[in-house]
Chain A
Amino acid sequence: MIVLIGGKIFTGEEFIENGAIFIENGKIVKVLRRKRLPANVEVIDLKGKYILPGFIDPHTHIGMRDEGAPREYSDVNEATDPATPHLYALDAYNPLDPAVDKALRSGITTVFITPGSANPIGGVGSVIKLKNAPISEIVVKKEAGLKMALGENPKLTYREKKSFPSTRMATAAIIREWFTKAKRYGEEKKRKEKDPKLENILKVLRKEIPCRIHCHSVQDIETALRLKEEFGFEMILEHASDAPLIVEKLKGKVKGIVVGPLFGVSSKPESKNLSFENPARLSAHGIPIAITSDHPFNAIYHLNLYAAMSFKEGLDEITALKAITSTPAEFLGVSDRVGYIKKGYDADIVVFSGHPFDIMSRVEMVFIDGVRVV
C-alpha cells in the first residue's frame, strides 16, 4: 500500500488540506481528511504540493495524427463518405505518437479519442488511458460517443469534391436520413443481416451512447437542438463557439459542452466568437462544461493552462478544475472510475509543485492505476 500525504488534495469536487490518499492494487482505497498512518506502508510526503485527479481531455485526436508526421499519415478524417458511423477512432490510435508521452508528463492520464469533423456522421470515439500497455488494457470505454459534425467542415470537405453535402441544409439532411433509416431498422422485428452503420446509430437512438456534435455557429447549435428534438438522443456539443449567445435555449437540452480549442486566433468565420470567456458565460447559466485541447489543434500539454485562462476570464476555480477532471469523466460516462480522488476509483493522480493554474507550477509525479509513471 502507498499513502500520499500532505498538500492540497483536489478530490474532483473540493479541496482537502493535509489529507491522505491510500492506494492499493491500482485503486484508491481510502481518502482521509487527516493523516492517521498505519505501520508498514510506503508514505510519500507531498507537503506543499497540489494533488489532483489525473487530467481528462474529452476531445482529442492524439495518436491519430502523430506529432511531427506528415499530413498524409493523419487518420483523423475518413473524408470519402459523409456517413461513417461504423468507424472507430480506436482503430487509428498509435500509442507511440510522441505526444502521448508528453501529455502524460503534463498530467493527462485519460483522453477521449474521436474521429474528426469532415463527415456529418464521423464514427465512434473511445476513452483510453495514456499508459504504456497493450491497447486492450488501456481502453476505459470503447464506445463513448458518436461523433457528428455540422457547419463549415463537412460542407467545405464535400463541396471540394462537388458532392453532397455542400451546404448546412444537406449536412442536416444526411444526419436525418441515416437516423431515420436506423430508427426504421430498429423497429424491424427480424433483422436478417446486421448493418454495421445502422447498428451504431441505433446505439445512439437507444441512448446507449451520446452524440458528440461538432458545431460552432448559432445556426448549427440550433440544428443540433432540432435533431435532438426529432430523434431524442443524448447530446454533448463540441466547441460550440456561439453557445453563449443562445445559452437559455440550451438549458436542460445538452448533457454538456466541450469548450475548446480556445488558444489562438479563430481560424474560420464560424468560430469568430471563440473566447476564454465562453466557459464562464456558459457555466454562469448552469451549463456543465469541460475544456479540451482538441489536440493536435491546441497542444494537449497545456490543458491546465486553458483551464487557468478560463478561470482568469471569470470561471469559478472549482468549476475550472472540474472542467479538466470530473466533468469530462461525467460526459464520457466513466465517472465511476476516473476524474475523482475518491474511494474505489482508479489511482490516477497528478502531483503539481504549486497551483495548477500557476504557470510556474510543474508536474512532479503522475500515477496511473497506482503505478508511478512520471
Chain B
Amino acid sequence: MEKLLIIKGGKIFTMEGAPLNGGYLIIKNGKIEDVTERMEIPNGAQVIDATGKHIYPGFIDIHTHTGLWEEGVNIEGSDGNEATDPVTPHVRAIDGINFHDDGFKEAVSSGVTTVNIMPGSANVIGGQGVATKTTGQILLNPSGIKMALGENPKRVYASQKKMPSTRLGNAAILRKALLDTLNYIEKKKKDKKAFDFKLEPLVGLFEGKYPARIHSHREDDILTALRIMKEFGIKFVIEHSTEGHFIAEILAKEEVPCALGPTITTRIKQELKFRTPETARIYEEKGVLFAFTTDFPVLPHYGLFYSAQIAVRHGLSEETALKALTINGAKILGLDHKIGSLKKGKDADIVITDREIFDPRFLVMTTIVDGKIVYDHKTRDDLYI
C-alpha cells in the first residue's frame, strides 16, 4: 500500500464549488482520496506544506501538437501535417509524437498535465488525435478525428495545384469522405469481408465513439462545419473558433463546444482579422462551453495562462477562466470523470503555484501527475519557463 501524500494549507481551487481556504488534499495510489477542511495527519504520511500557496487541478490544453513538431528541429522533427493527400483519417498523431521533446518538459513545468495532441490543419481530414498526460500516460486514443476548413487546406493544395484550392473544395472533400464512409458502412453490413483501411477510422464518428475536431476560424467556416456535421449527425468540437463571438448564440444553442485559441498571436493570416480578446467573455455571456488552448507550438505551453489573463482583463470572470483551463477541457475531451477537478476518485493531477494564476508573476512550485511529484521548482534540473 502506497503511503499517503497530503497537501496542507493554501487555497484549494477544487472546481467543485467554492475554493477551500487552508484545507487538506489527500492523495493515495495516484488518486485523490479526499479533500477536507480538517484532519489528523497520520504517521508516515508525506506532507507538502502549501500554506500561502494556490492549489489547482492540473491544467488541460485540448488542442496542441506537442512532440509532433519537435522544438529546435526542422523538417526531420516535423510530423504534424501529412500534406500529401487532403484525406488522411488513417494517420495517427501518436505515431509521430516524441515524448522526450522539450515541449513536454515545458508543459509539466507550466502546470499543464493533460494535452490533446492532434495532426495539423493541412488536410481537410488530418488524422487521429490522442489525449495524454504530459508525462506520457495515454488517456484516449483516438481522441477524435482532426478536420480543417478555411485557409490552411486550400493554401496547401492550391500550391500543389490539386483540389481543394477553395472553401468549396474543402467542404466537398469533407462531404465526399463522409458519404463514402456511409456507403462503406452499408457495404460492411452485406459483405463481412469489406474493409477500407482509410475509411475505417471515420466509422467511429458515425458510431459516436469520438468527435470530429474541426479547425475553423471564420464565422462562415464554423457554420460550414455545423451544417455538414448536422447533415451527417456527427458530434464535433470547433477548434480555434476565432470568429465564434459573432455566432456565440448559435454555438450555445447547438451545444457546440469550442477550443478557443491561440488568442494572443499576431494576425498572421486573413482569417484571423477579427480575432478579439473579448471572445471568451462573449462565450461566457452566451453560455458556450469552451476551453483555452495554445495550439502549441504556436504558443508555448505557458501561453495558456496569458490567454486566460488577457480574457479576464477583457471581462471574463475568473471563475469561468479557471474552468476553461481545467474542467471544461476535461468535459470537451469526455474525460471529466478522471481529470479537471479535485474530487475524490479523480486522478491526482495537481499544480501548486505561489500566487493566483491570474497574477502574471505567478510561478509553478510543484506539479503532481497521478500522485507523483513530476516537477519541483526548487529541485528542477532545467528552467523551462
Residue A102, interface by CB 8 Å: no
Contact with B along A157-169 (1 / 0, CB 8 A): 0110011111111
Q: Does B79 contact A (CB under 8 A)?
A: yes
Residues in B307-334 with C-beta less than 8 Å from chain A: none
If over half of A's interface residues share one DSSP class (helix, strand or loop), that class is named, otherwise mixed; here it is: helix
The answer on a CB contact under 8 Å between A162 and B79 is no
A172 interface hit (Cβ, 8 Å): yes
Complex Cα gap A132–B241 (Å): 69
Of residues 161 through 183 on chain A, the ones whose CB sits less than 8 Å from some CB of chain B are 162-173, 176-177, 180-181
Which stretch from B91-99, B283-291, B358-366 is at the chain A interface?
Answer: B91-99
Are B99 and A158 in contact, CB atoms less than 8 angstroms apart?
no
In chain A, positions 228-251 with a C-beta closer than 8 Å to chain B are: 242, 245
Contact between B84 and A219 (Cβ–Cβ < 8 Å)?
no
Query: Which residue of chain B has the shortest Cβ distance to A152 in the bound complex?
Result: B76
| Count of A interface residues, CB-CB < 8 Å | 34
Most chain-A Cβ atoms within 10 A of its Cβ — which of B75, B80, B160?
Answer: B75
B residues 58-73 in Cβ contact with A at 8 Å: 67, 70, 73
CA distance A167 to B67 in the complex (A): 13
Cross-chain contact B91 with A173 (CB below 8 angstroms): yes
CB distance from A162 to the nearest CB of B (A): 6
Q: Cβ of B91 and Cβ of A169 under 8 Å apart? A: yes
In the complex, A171→B95 CA distance in Å?
8
A165 — nearest CB in chain B belongs to which residue? B82
Contact of B96 among A158, A164, A169, A268 (CB under 8 A): A169
Residues of A within 8 A of B254 (CB): none
Contacts A169-B127, A269-B76; is A217 near B81 (CB within 8 Å)? no
Question: A47 an interface residue at 8 Å Cβ cutoff?
Answer: no
* Inter-chain CB contacts under 8 Å: number: 90
A170 interface neighbour in B84, B160, B193, Cβ under 8 Å: B84
What CA separation (Å) do A177 and B75 show in the bound complex? 25
Tell me the bound Cα distance from A155 to B80 in angstroms.
12
- Whether A158 contacts B84 by the Cβ 8 Å rule is yes
Known contacts: A168-B95, A184-B195, A218-B99. The answer to whether A173 contacts B88 by CB under 8 A is yes
B83 neighbours in A (Cβ, 8 Å): 166
Q: Determine the distance from Cα of A177 to Cα of B197 in the docked complex, in whole angstroms.
A: 6
Q: B372 interface residue, CB < 8 Å from A? A: no
In Å, the complex CA distance between A242 and B99 comes to 12
Q: Apart from A218-B99, A219-B98, A245-B100, what are 13 other A-B pairs with CB-CB below 8 Å?
A: A156-B75, A159-B84, A164-B82, A165-B82, A168-B96, A169-B82, A169-B95, A170-B84, A217-B98, A223-B94, A242-B100, A269-B73, A269-B77
Q: Name A's B-contacting residues (CB within 8 A).
A: 152, 155-156, 158-159, 162-173, 176-177, 180-181, 184, 188, 217-219, 222-223, 226, 242, 245, 268-270
